[in-house]
């Protein structure tokens, strides 16, 4: 029986209630789904319980009560621990259940996890997301989904609760590949914007003026609209932390190296993000990349 063919409402689990996870779990609740949540730091659960979620006291307890389980975790090791560690999800899930991993992790590892789950009769979709904290909170993320087409179709109602753009991009692991492509593209644009702003400021032109002018032409992008505004307003409260973007670019570069792809731009940006993190600013929003460009350009930080 697939996850959506039960005669009773399917209970959806959500593990990982960080900046992104809590927004996605809230979107599932607002869409009318029955949701059970678990987070290692239990303090993250009460706000969702107030919205109607149930709180599980362990990963195993959540797995035993849910047929569809979302993960939103920090890295490959965290996903493996939740799935296959002591008291992990894999042992608790019933055959016919589905794991939907929204984490950004290694594509080869994802394929390996899916194979191990399949041995237990559990399906897996990799569905990394893009759209940041606001997209998670409003259910307007972009979901890049890899996995079996029939499993994708069965889980579409849950994916549409968290994302306004849900694309099936191929077999298991393909979602991670597309997310890597996304991170390469958006960080490349951000570096270009940061360089443009530094150039403008060194010639006594305000970045806010530059941004408004560029928004009317070919340079218009979501990065220019949103992330560039963070740089102008000095708002680096994390929507997505620089240390996590560094991790994502490392994954992208490894994927490129595995297939002999020439990626000099991504390699440079990864080095710059390493500089951001080494300066103790890895917990800031990843748009803090622009601060480092300012420093290297001899531009004094604006108030």
Interstrand relation of 163-170 and 11-15 (parallel, antiparallel or unpaired): unpaired
DSSP 98-118: EEEE-S---HHHHHHHHHHHH
Burial of 170 (0-12, 13-18, 19+ CB in 10 A): middle
Distance CA 296, CA 198 (A): 9
For 169, phi then psi, to 5°, come to -105, 0
Position of tokens 């999800």? Answer: 89
Burial of 5 (0-12, 13-18, 19+ CB in 10 A): exposed
3-class secondary structure, 225: helix
DSSP 251-301: HHHHHHHHTT---HHHHHHHHHHHHHIIIIITTSBGGGHHHHHHHHTTPPP
DSSP 63: H
Crossing angle between the packed helical segments 289-296 and 264-276, to the nearest 10 degrees? 90
For 166, phi then psi, to 5°, come to -120, 115
The C-alpha R_g of the chain, in whole angstroms, comes to: 20
Positive or negative: CA dihedral 173, 179, 183, 185:
positive
**Active-site hit among 179, 241, 247, 291:** 179
Q: Is 179 a catalytic residue?
A: yes
For 234, phi then psi, to 5°, come to 60, 40
Annotated catalytic residues are 179
């Amino acid at each position: 029986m697939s996850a959506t063919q039960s005669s009773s409402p399917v209970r959806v689990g959500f593990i990982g209630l960080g900046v992104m996870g809590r927004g996605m779990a809230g979107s599932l609740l607002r869409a009318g789904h029955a949701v059970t949540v678990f987070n290692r730091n239990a303090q993250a659960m009460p706000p969702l319980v107030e919205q109607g979620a149930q709180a599980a006291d362990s990963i195993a307890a959540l797995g035993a009560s849910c047929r569809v389980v979302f993960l939103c975790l920090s890295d490959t090791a965290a996903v493996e621990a939740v799935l296959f560690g002591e008291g992990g999800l894999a042992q608790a899930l019933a055959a016919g259940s589905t794991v939907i991993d929204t984490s950004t992790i290694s594509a080869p590892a994802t394929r390996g996890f899916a194979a191990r789950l399949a041995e237990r009769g559990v399906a897996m979709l990799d569905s990394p997301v893009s759209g940041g904290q606001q997209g998670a909170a409003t259910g307007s993320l972009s979901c890049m989904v890899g996995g079996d087409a029939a499993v994708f179709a069965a889980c579409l109602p849950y994916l549409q609760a968290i994302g306004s753009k849900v694309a099936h991009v191929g077999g298991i692991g393909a979602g991670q590949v597309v997310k890597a492509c996304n991170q390469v593209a958006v960080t490349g644009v951000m570096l270009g914007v940061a360089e443009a702003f530094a150039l403008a400021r060194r010639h006594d032109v305000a970045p806010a003026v530059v941004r408004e002018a560029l928004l009317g032409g070919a340079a218009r992008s979501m990065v220019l609209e949103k992330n560039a505004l963070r740089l102008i307003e000095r708002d680096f409260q994390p929507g997505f932390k620089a240390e996590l973007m560094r991790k994502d670019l490392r994954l992208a570069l490894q994927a490129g190296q595995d297939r002999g792809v020439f990626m000099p731009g991504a390699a440079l940006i990864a080095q710059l993000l390493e500089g951001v993190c080494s300066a103790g600013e890895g917990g800031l929003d990843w748009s803090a990349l622009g601060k480092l460009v300012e420093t290297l350009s001899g531009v004094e930080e604006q108030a």
